[in-house]
Amino acid sequence: MTKVLVLNGPNLGRLGRRQPEVYGRTTHAELAHLCVDWGKKLGLEVEVRQTNHEGELLDWLNAAADDNIPVVLNAAAWTHYSYALFDACAQLTAPLVEVHISEPKQRPEEFRHASVVEPHAVATIAGQGIDGYRQALELLARG
């Protein structure tokens, strides 16, 4: 069974409470459960993690690079400005799928329109809500 990491960045631990009109009402715990279930159905062993600490996310990405583990990444705000994240994504050896619950390029804040992850991703899935994670896992399962 292929292992996949689903990594979520800052404030995503507050899903269900933070701006539900933008991010929906699904909690992070519910999202994690869904991802694990979707993964099982696709023959994937999914591990879901969330952090508000950039260094921790970088450590997870470095380990994924070392172990050739595919990654589904919602780097949240770090997506738009973290060159350390850019470098960590550049060294991944297995596929990376970028996910965003909302569509950042259609949000009014100009800074959200750029992604340092996108150049390293095999695909970006945005604006599909929580279902974007299922779509990302399906993409990885197809190889």
pLDDT (0 to 100) of residue 113: 67
Known catalytic residues?
Answer: 23, 100
Q: Which fold has domain 2-142?
A: Rossmann fold (3.40.50)
pLDDT (0 to 100) of residue 65: 98
pLDDT in tens, 52-100: 999 999 999 999 999 999 999 999 999 988 999 999 999 999 999 999 9
CA trace torsion 80, 85, 90, 94 (10° rounding): -100
**Residue 101 annotated in ligand binding:** yes
pLDDT in tens, 105-128: 777 777 676 899 999 999 999 999
Bridge partners of residue 73, in order along the sequence: 7, 98
pLDDT (0 to 100) of residue 143: 84
Cα angle value 41/65/50 (rounded, 5°): 60
**Residue 112 annotated in ligand binding:** yes
**Residue 102 annotated in ligand binding:** yes
pLDDT (0 to 100) of residue 111: 67
H-helix segments, the chain = 20-23, 28-42, 54-67, 83-90, 131-142
**143/134 Cα distance (integer angstroms):** 15
**85/94 Cα distance (integer angstroms):** 16
Give the domain ranges of the chain: 2-142
